[in-house]
Amino acid sequence: MPLSKDQLRRAYRQMKTIREFEERLHLEIATGDIAGFTHLYCGQEAVAVGVCEHLANDDFIVSTHRGHGHCIAKGCDVVGMMKEIYGRRDGLCKGKGGSMHIADVNVGMLGANGIVGAGAPLAVGAGVAARMDGAGKVSIAFSGDGACNQGTTFEAMNMAVVLKLPVIFVYENNHYSEHTGADYAVGSKDMTKRAAGFGMLARKADGCDFFAVYDLMTEVLQHCRSGAGPASVELDTERFFGHFEGDPQRYRGPGELERLRETRDCLKNFRATAKARKLIDLAELDAIDAQVMQLIESAVTQARAAPVPQAADVFEDVYVTY
Amino acid sequence: MAKMMLREAINKTIHDEMERDKNIVIMGEDIVGGMGTAGGPEAIGGIWGLTGGLYAKFGANRVIDTPISESCIVGAAAGAALAGKRAIAELMFADFVGVCLDQLYNQMAKFRYMFGGKTKCPVTVRITYGAGMNAAAQHSQAVYSMLTSIPGLKVVMPTTPADAKGLLTTAIRGDDPVMFFEHKTLYGISGEVPDGEYLLPFGNARMTREGNHASIVTCGQLVRAAEKAADALAKDGISCDVIDLRTTSPLDEECILDSVENTGHLIVADESPPRCSLASDIAGLVASKAFAALKAPIEMVTAPHTPVPFARELEKAYLPNAAGIEAAVRRSLAYRH
Ligand SMILES: Cc1ncc(C[n+]2csc(CCOP(=O)(O)OP(=O)(O)O)c2C)c(N)n1
Ligand SMILES: [Mg+2]
């Protein structure tokens, strides 16, 4: 079924929100105002949005260290996220988690994760819960090309097949794990074939093309929601910034980033497709751009002004203290 | 002697040892960096810059850049050791001990004993640890107390570039598995490092300040905080022993007990949470072996029993510091029955 104008506007707005959230963070982090390690999702927006636009509030996702995009796509509050990344007391996790640990179970977002490969088993558990709840709920594990080599990921894939769970392993292949190329670290060089070897539906698509991701997910979700078992989806994507903010990126080839920004930008691709297929008036997208810029500006302003945590907060949200 | 940073001392020691002993293999994530990329090998040399230059010098058989697979990194190091090699494995963050604990705990720690002494297990696991960089709950932990409790493992924590060289050399040349903890905030500190052969025996603490009023026992990052506290107290005429344990297993009991026998006041500063910690362990040791010498309750300055929080204000409140150690010394000295 083709997307309605409303759905198109929503999807574009979500992608643009992620993009501008990250572009702005890139600038803010350079000022030194934001502490800790931050991994930006910029460039991969079509994956998070192409997947999550299919999900209901009570479907589950499990995210990674590069989690801002998944959070926004699944419906986390953008201002609350910004406050969290700034380490503010009324941030989404009270300033205790920061960029790498944003979670909001109320929207089915079971957490970003600092441990690479930890998400897939958690998603299996959420898949168990989803099946108990009935009604075709699903659980999604977002993982990177690096995370897909972790033993936990293999255990999770096998168990999901054994238990025939409604779990989808979404592999975002951005071709790098930190400073290492995916072709080096993924021995078979083909994680989709490898996933198929576990006995599950395994598909891939261009992760810089929202429409390709969305269409593939329509099919895969139908499979999972109908009780036919887990699936693996590999999405070929790009990260536009370093592994973390501050990464000198010496592993990149000359002109690589410029070329990626030019040819592999999912927002540009969205606009090009929208125009070619006459899906929506581009002026409408321009209007969305302006609204998103305002939202991000306001999120940063609010985050900056928000109160910082108090020392006594250290002792809250833990079962016992000594 | 040459002046260098702790990170350079570690890099140079690995170079020297691998040069000296062709039987040594090193493995870890991104320890070469750039594998399978346009930038090519050696694009990074470890995210902390500790393994730079090894690949170019010793080649792919001995310098192994691995996929993200901590269980297999540590397990493969142990397996290579069983098969007659000497292995160095790197865990990028100490928190990832959680991923590979079986290989540390059930495997390499137990081989020599369980196999009736028929095998050795020369593995040095280099582990970056500790809070202070707002890296939050899964990238900041001080897990050395937990590993100190495991029979069969040795646990080492250098705090100066010279100690890094001396202790790492001993670790690599030794025949037992060693957990070599490097505090991420200490990599940039500079100091003189002896040239040539330099080995420091394990179980030999370093007295960094000497005094008569109180004994501050600590390790890792907190050694500097303890020194700062001792220097502040010295201005008020209070003199302290500051004991940098260097290794928590084996433990230099004699140094601790002698100091407490002299001062009667024990302050233990420990970056791990308080339960079953290095602090409680040393408190237990002194309570059982030097009870009569104590003039006041033992003071334990530790992290709280919570995960490590992210926000600057919270992490600052979480981490034990010089002011806390100084206050503990003063409390101890002010104690009256
Ligand atoms: C268990 C574990 N090992 C190593 C790391 C350090 N680390 C953080 S992200 C990362 C690379 C992950 O690559 P990938 O899964 O492709 O995700 P991407 O960064 O490309 O989004 C590594 C090695 C970690 N956080 N956790
Ligand atoms: Mg990747």
Q: What is the structure's pLDDT at A321? A: 67
Does the residue B25 lie in any domain? Answer: yes
- Shared-domain flag, residues B29 and B157: yes
Interface test mutation site (partner B, options A96, A171, A252, A259, max chain B beta carbons within 10 A) = A96
* Residues, beta carbon < 5 Å, ion ligand 2: A 144-146, 174, 176-177
Contact B39 A250 (CB under 8 A): yes
Q: Which residues from chain B sit within 8 angstroms of residue A185, using beta carbons? A: 35-36, 67-68
The answer to whether A49 and A210 are in contact (CB under 8 A) is yes
B139 is catalytic: yes
Looking at the fold, whether B138 and B182 belong to one and the same domain comes out as yes
Fold classification of A5-307 is Rossmann fold (3.40.50)
Structurally, how many domains does chain B consist of?
2
Mean pLDDT score, B129-134: 98
DSSP state of A245: T
**Is pLDDT at B6 greater than 70 in this prediction?**
yes
Q: Is residue B198 domain-resident?
A: no
A147 vs B68: CB contact, 8 Å cut-off? yes
Contact of B90 with B123, CB cutoff 8 Å:
no
B29 in the same domain as B120: yes
- Is a pLDDT exceeding 90 seen at residue B116? yes
Amino acid A229: pLDDT = 98
Whose alpha carbon is nearest atom 17 of ligand 1? A144
Within this chain, do residues B174 and B85 fall inside the same structural domain, yes or no? yes
Residue B69 CB–ligand 1 contact under 6 Å: no
- Residues facing residue A171 across a β-bridge: A143, A234
Q: Which residues pair with B241 in a beta bridge?
A: B215
Residues B71 and B183 in one domain: yes
How far away, in angstroms, is A176 Cα from ligand 2 center? 4
Burial of A60 (0-12, 13-18, 19+ CB in 10 A): buried
Strands A231-236 and A201-206: parallel
User: Which DSSP state fits A109?
Assistant: B
Mean pLDDT of chain B: 97
Residues B189 and B231 in one domain: no
Say if residue B302 is in the same domain as residue B222: yes
Whether B33 and B132 map to the same domain: the answer is yes
User: Of B193, B215, B232, which closes a domain?
Assistant: B193
Q: Which of B162, B193, B224 is the last residue of a domain?
A: B193
The answer to whether residues B169 and B230 belong to one domain is no
pLDDT at B46: 85
Same domain, B186 and B293: no
- Kindly tell me the number of DSSP H helices and DSSP E strands found in chain A: 12, 7
| Chain A nearest C-alpha distance from B38 (Å) | 5
Which residues, in sequence order, are CB contacts of B60 under 8 Å at separation 6+? none
Q: Which residue, among A145, A164, A157, A149, has the nearest Cα to A121 in the 3D structure? A: A157
Nearest to A199 by CA among A226, A222, A228, A171: A228
Interface probe for B, chosen from A179, A260, A304, A319 (most Cβ of B below 10 Å), is: A179
ipTM of the complex model: 0.96
Binding site membership of A68 for ligand 1 (Cβ less than 6 Å): no
Could you give the residue ranges of the DSSP H alpha helices within chain A?
5-30, 45-52, 68-74, 78-85, 119-133, 151-163, 182-185, 191-197, 210-225, 256-263, 266-276, 282-305
Are B238 and B145 found together in one domain?
no
Q: Tokens for B71? A: 């269980």
- Residue B303 is given by DSSP the state -
Per-window interface: B 13-42 vs A, CB < 8 A: 29-30, 33-40
Ligand nearest to the CA of A47: 1
Task: Give the integer Cα–Cα distance in Å for B228 and A3.
Answer: 65
Residue A257 CA to residue A261 CA, distance in Å, equals 6
A177 close to ligand 1 (CB < 6 Angstrom): yes
> Is this structure's pTM higher than 0.95?
yes
Query: What is the reported pLDDT for B57?
Result: 97
| Least confident interval from A148-162, A307-321, B151-165, B314-328 | A307-321
pLDDT digits (tens, 9 = 90+) for B48-68: 889 999 999 999 999 999 999
Residue B311 lies in a domain: yes
* Span A224-259, pLDDT tens digits: 999 999 999 999 999 999 999 999 999 999 999 999
DSSP state of A104: B
Question: How far does B132 lie from chain A, in Å, by closest CA?
Answer: 9
Q: Find the CATH number of the domain harbouring B157.
A: 3.40.50.970
Would you say B239 and B215 are in contact if contact means Cβ atoms under 8 Å apart? no
Q: Of how many residues is chain A composed?
A: 322
**B36/A100 Cβ within 8 A:** no
A–B interface: beta-carbon pairs under 8 A = 170
Ligand 1 atom nearest B30 alpha carbon: 23
Question: With the C-alpha atoms ordered B205, B208, B214, B217, is the resulting torsion angle positive or negative?
Answer: negative
Residue B200 belongs to some domain of the structure:
no
Expressed as residue numbers, the domain containing B144 is: 2-193
Given an 8 Å threshold on Cβ–Cβ distance, is A147 in contact with B136?
Answer: no
- Between CA A115 and CA A101 the distance in angstroms is 10
Percent of chain B whose predicted confidence (pLDDT) is above 70 = 100
The 3-state DSSP class for residue A190 equals coil
Low-confidence ranges of chain A (pLDDT < 50): none
CA dist., res. A298 & res. B91, Å (int): 40
Task: Residue B292: give its domain's CATH number.
Answer: 3.40.50.920
Q: Domain boundaries in chain A?
A: 5-307
Question: Residue A26: which residues within 8 A CB-CB, separation 6 or more?
Answer: A40, A42, A241, A245
Does residue B19 fall inside a structural domain? Answer: yes
Per-residue pLDDT, A322: 63
